[in-house]
Amino acid sequence: MSLCSSSNLFAEEFNQWPAKKTYDNPAITKAMDAVREGIPKAENDPTRPVYHFCPPARWMNDPCGAIYHKGYYHVFYQLNPTGDFWGVDNTHWGHTRSKDLVYWEHLPIALWPSRELGERRCNSGCVAINDNGQPMIFYTYVPLKEGVSRQQWVASGDDDLITWKKHPDNPIIGREKSVIPSSVGPGWSDPFIFRTEDKTFVIFKSICLEFNLEVKFKTNIAEEPFVRLRTRS
């Protein structure tokens, strides 16, 4: 397992933050550099875990988007790249992968808050492969403005799940384009996609009630994303 401090128990090459580089997305470059800057302080923290997986520095929470793809176990996680506290205004998606669930390889940050689109942070979600083989992240957009409902967004990835682009037609599910029960509060979040009996569903958490939407799991996610609603109080 990738250690959180320097140790000789496991192969050191699996515990390296990706080398400094300029990514196509400036937000990813900035976040990757911010994590790197925090490594010296983290390595000198005597209370830092040394066995279980964590990034080399900064705050993490909510592992999400676990998926086995092309010989790797991928895990994404909530990450604040600029501090050792919950990123209420700055949560990104970190990313790691492993071939054996023991040695973990740090990968470039996957998701970032789109400030130009009013996004405060990227909440949890899931990763799924659609019928055309396209990797997709489903996650919750949290707005900068208070009192505005959250939305469910999607990003598409390359075949190695390394580089992600947010879909231009986001949100795929939101109050302005979907029939969401009025009893569901603005804090609905964390979509999870699953399939059963030849149907695809997405389930969320909500302050008021649990509910799921039957969705059309297609590449053209701008299409109406569900055909009927089921609720459970």
Judged against a pLDDT cut of 60, whether residue 193 lies above it is answered with yes
| Active-site residue identified among 24, 33, 45, 62 | 62
Per residue in 19-58, pLDDT tens?
Answer: 999 999 999 999 999 999 999 999 899 888 877 888 999 9
Task: Specify the amino acid at residue 60.
Answer: M
What is this structure's pTM?
0.84
Report whether CATH 2.115.10.20 matches the domain 114-233: yes
**What average pLDDT does the chain have?**
82
Mapping DSSP onto H, E and C, the string for 40-92 reads HHHHCCCCCCCCCCCCCCCEEEEEEEEEEECCEEEEEEEEECCCCCCCCCCCE
CA–CA distances in Å: residue 156 to residues 17, 139, 228 = 23, 11, 25
Task: Specify the amino acid at residue 83.
Answer: G
Task: Specify the amino acid at residue 188.
Answer: W
Which residue, among 225, 171, 217, 173, has the nearest Cα to 194 in the 3D structure?
217
In which residue ranges of the chain is CATH 2.115.10.20 found?
Answer: 114-233
pLDDT value at position 28?
A: 97
CB 121, CB 110: distance < 8 Å: no
Which residues fall within 8 angstroms of residue 220, CB to CB, at 6 or more apart?
none
Per residue in 87-127, pLDDT tens?
Answer: 899 999 999 999 999 889 999 999 999 999 999 999 999 99
Instruction: Respond yes or no: is residue 159 known to be catalytic.
Output: no
